[in-house]
Chain A
Amino acid sequence: MAELRTEEEQVQALKSWWDENGKSLILGIAVALAAVLGWKGWQQHESVQAENGSILYQNLLDSVVGAIGPQQDEAKLATANHLSGQLKADYDDTAYANYAALIMARVAVEQGELDKALTELDWVLAHQPTESIFVLASMRKARIIADQGDADKALTIINSVPVAGYVVSINELKGDIYLAKGEIAQAKSAYETALNASTANNRPLLEMKLNDLAAQES
């Protein structure tokens, strides 16, 4: 069709096409560019987040090792508190923040601050942990609550979590709670469920607890 026109006509046609579609074309390109750049930028941000989180977490691990167990180093404990605080504040959407809170719950238990440990565990539960971390945090929460005397609440918590791969641990914990409540038969049956689900001989403490209940049979 083009060969029919003169050069001028072609220029004219181009111009009118541009008038008609120019804006939407530029807009289209701009939107596409923005989308690509935005995506790239977001990815970049994510990976920077992850890397910074990783560095903070690595440092946290170093200081926590010094803050727990027999050595109980005050300075390391302060560092650990600071680092976990930073992780939870600025990197709260990374897995590192969840790990940090889990670890700090343990530190709090060793310091005798059970309520603080509960706060940390609740923080984990509120921040989209993986299923596995969710179960672990719930079990730990139930243990602390049972220790504080509310066995029924502990049982409610433990009965509501998905079992995932933790059949043995969950049932052992149920047994512990029932035993604390004085419900020997339930405790025994929970321990038995746990022991049946475990691989041979890798839970000596569980066997010990179960064997100790054998008395009530005879």
Chain B
Amino acid sequence: MLQSIRDNSQGIIAKIIVGLIAVTFALFGVESLVSLTAGSNSPATVNGEEISQQDLIQGVQLQKRQMLSQMGEDADPALLDDNLISNMVLEGLIEQSVLVQSATDQGLSFSDAMIDQLILTTPDFQQDGQFNRAQFEAVLRNAGLTPMMYRNLVRKEKVTEQERAAFMLSAFTLPSELKTIAQLDSQTRDLRYFTLPAESVRASIEVSDEEIADYFDKHRTEFLTDEQVAIEYLLLERDVLASEITVTDEQLQNAYQLLVDTFQAQELRHSAHILVAISDEQDDAAAKAKADALVERLAAGEAFEALAKAESDDPASAEMGGDLGVNAKGVFSSEFEGALFALEKGQTTSTPIRTEFGYHIIKLIDVEETETPTFAEAKADLENDLLTQLSEEAYVAQLERLADISFSSGDLVEPSETLELEIHKTDLFARSGDEDEITANPKVLSVAFDGELIKEGLNSTPIELDSGRAVVLRVVQHELPREKTIDEVSANIKDTLIDEKVSQALTAQADGIIAKLKQGESLENVASGATVMTLAGVARSQQDLAQELRTAAFKLPKPAADSISYTAVDMLDGSKSILVLDNVIDAEIDLKPEEISYMSMMLSNRKGQQDYQDYITQLKEKAEVERL
């Protein structure tokens, strides 16, 4: 067969095919094949530039973390709709991409050197006022970024920022424009009004059962229950396990022994030394000779301290008569340590000790032994430590068993029996959870409404509520949203219908009043007994007048001399007010220079923002955006 392949491959057609393949690879590389099969799975492309799946995922995670930290302890997972966040983040990425492209097209740039400069001067990356590489990398790691990605982000942010600054900083406000706005803003108006309260009408309104039924028939599909589940669960608690553990005397004794051992290791020795260093000027033999001579001088009765001061090649300790301070084991090199710990108090080594530095003559000045606590003293602490340690071990072991057994069983019965945990059952609850601590937990809720678990009725994997508690749950009942019955909603419908009728009645009444005003009747006349409020010089920002009335008052046409303008206003509580505007006062205003400066800054900022926002909208409209 190989021969036949060989023969065929010599043929002209085979050669053409191989040739084509060769040409394809040469021109377009391996990518041409890979990209053919893989296709594009990026969530969106902007003017042909892809937004990567990874960018989206990262953005979503960041967003979620921010939202959760804003919501604090009682974070509501229902608000963290993955789809919603993902869409939001994607729109943000598209906007960013559009802006970066626009900046690049205009030739804006932010060079590597400028990025370096920026990184060096970022306080977050500094330690003691100095850029610190480790700190820089640690901060990036926390944010899930590599230095490369970070630089890229900075570049994008900076070029768009440069363009944004051109919009924001260049917008201005002319003095005449400022004056117009200030004048309008400080305008005041003289008003009168009275209110037709909803409450008095409401009492006389009646809604029949037929009307409710009729309304229900028309709006049936708008009344839906929430999706609900009921679960059963096992709760594994470390504290419960801890209560079943008793610490034996033997364990206590062992722990105590361990404690005693470590205390002995902590024996501290106060030492001094004279160093004869081996260096370029002083070879090994010379150093040893000198050290031996020093030992003899010590033996002859010279004081260790004086000799150290005069002869030691370790300048730091020589100053203090060779004193090395108080140290435990593990500080010095092993030769030094061996010699030091072999000495008796007050003794000096009889021969020089060779280490990597040279020859040492070592003196043990004092031994400080730390007092080992008695068993009785240590018992309470030891028992506590042991209990924590044992219960942690037991908890981890049980958690593993729980995971294994609940994975392999169809329901919670077997894990419950094996691990001797009670099966708790819950009532139906919606995605927003209920008061119970378990069914209010965001982690539990997100698992309980997991489609797979609902469909298959499987046990979940253990959900760790905190470091000492875990839950395995199983969905036992699942209620899809359904239409509510008329009995469940008739009260709501009745309220809606009453509101509607009240509004109709009040509108009719108000229309009648407005018509009378048109014929020239006075407001006091048409008020027919209701209290007429008179307010002079109402400002736009006046707090003691309802917002609805103020807005309406400043929308009313300016009345001609000796005339009024009027309207009916819908109030928030369903009432209606009849409002009359008597006079508009455009007072001459006199602004101080600081006020002018401040106001013009504010107006310019607002203008700059609007211009920039318009610009973004425009860019986005022009861009060819394809969403997956």
Contact = CB atoms under 8 A, between A and B. Distances in A.
A23 to B, nearest CB: 33
A63 B602 CA distance: 19
B200 interface: no
Contact of A165 (B166, B556, B597, B621): B621
B106 A95 contact: yes
A96 B181 contact: no
A68 B109 contact: no
A121 to B, nearest CB: 10
A57 B108 CA distance: 10
A61 B565 CA distance: 51
Interface in A171-218: 176, 202-203, 205, 208-209, 211-212, 214-218
Interface stretch (A12-20, A33-41, A98-106): A98-106
B558 to A, nearest CB: 3
Nearest to A117: B172
Contacts of B614: 165-166, 168-169
Interface of B: 106-111, 113-114, 162-163, 165-167, 169-177, 180-181, 184-185, 187, 554-560, 565, 584, 594, 597-598, 600-601, 604, 606, 610-611, 614-615, 617-618, 621
B511 to A, nearest CB: 18
A70 B565 contact: no
Contacts of B559: 215, 218
Given A165-B617, A169-B610, A169-B614, A54 B108 contact: yes
A144 B597 contact: no
Contacts of B181: 205, 208
Given A51-B111, A102-B170, 20 more contacts: A54-B109, A54-B114, A54-B162, A55-B111, A61-B162, A70-B597, A96-B108, A105-B172, A106-B170, A109-B174, A130-B106, A136-B170, A143-B177, A165-B617, A203-B610, A208-B184, A208-B554, A214-B556, A214-B557, A215-B557
Residue of B166, B554, B560, B617 most packed against chain A (CB within 10 A): B166
A68 B174 contact: no
A46 B106 CA distance: 12
B108 A106 contact: no
Contacts of B165: 61, 99
Nearest to A98: B166
A199 to B, nearest CB: 9
B159 to A, nearest CB: 8
A65 interface: yes
B108 A95 contact: yes
Interface of A: 46-47, 50-51, 54-55, 57-58, 61, 64-65, 68-70, 94-96, 98-99, 102-103, 105-106, 109-110, 114, 117, 130, 132-133, 136, 140, 143-144, 147, 164-166, 168-169, 176, 202-203, 205, 208-209, 211-212, 214-218
Nearest to A100: B166
Nearest to B611: A136
Contact of A144 (B108, B169, B174): B174
Contact of A94 (B107, B174, B554): B107
A69 B555 contact: no
B172 A106 contact: yes
Contacts of A70: 594, 597-598, 601
Counting from the closest, the 7 A-B pairs by CB-CB distance are A165-B618, A215-B558, A99-B166, A102-B170, A95-B106, A106-B172, A50-B109
A69 B597 contact: yes
Contacts of A176: 177, 180
B557 A61 contact: no
17 contacts: A46-B107, A51-B114, A55-B111, A69-B601, A70-B598, A95-B107, A103-B170, A106-B170, A106-B172, A110-B172, A144-B174, A147-B176, A165-B615, A168-B614, A214-B556, A214-B558, A217-B557
A212 B110 contact: no
A103 B618 contact: no
Contact of B169 (A54, A58, A65, A169): A65
B170 A212 contact: no
A98 B113 CA distance: 24
B329 to A, nearest CB: 58
Contacts of A64: 169
Contact of A102 (B166, B600, B610): B166
A211 B558 CA distance: 10
A211 B615 contact: no
B184 A209 contact: yes
A180 B175 CA distance: 14
Contacts of A98: 166
Residue of A70, A105, A114 most packed against chain B (CB within 10 A): A70
B558 A54 contact: no
Nearest to B187: A212
B597 A51 contact: no
Given A165-B615, A169-B614, A143 B174 contact: yes
B166 A211 contact: no
A99 B184 contact: no
A169 B597 CA distance: 23
A172 B172 CA distance: 16
A208 B541 CA distance: 13
A54 B162 CA distance: 9
B271 to A, nearest CB: 59
A140 B233 CA distance: 68
Contacts of A117: 172
B289 to A, nearest CB: 66
Contacts of B113: 51
Residue of B169, B171, B187, B555 most packed against chain A (CB within 10 A): B169
A208 B185 contact: yes
Contacts of A103: 166, 169-170
A65 B605 CA distance: 12
A218 B82 CA distance: 53
Contacts of A214: 555-558
A184 to B, nearest CB: 12
A61 B162 CA distance: 9
A215 B561 CA distance: 12
B183 to A, nearest CB: 10
Given A57-B162, A165-B621, A214-B558, A147 B169 contact: no
A132 B176 CA distance: 25
Residue of A46, A50, A98 most packed against chain B (CB within 10 A): A50
Contacts of B555: 211, 214
A169 B611 contact: yes
Given A50-B107, A54-B109, A147 B598 contact: no
B615 to A, nearest CB: 5
A195 B180 CA distance: 19
A105 B167 CA distance: 12
Contacts of B606: 205
Nearest to B181: A205
B170 A105 contact: yes
Residue of B107, B111, B621 most packed against chain A (CB within 10 A): B107
Nearest to A47: B109
B116 to A, nearest CB: 13
B605 to A, nearest CB: 9
B107 A109 contact: no
Nearest to A69: B601
Contacts of A133: 166
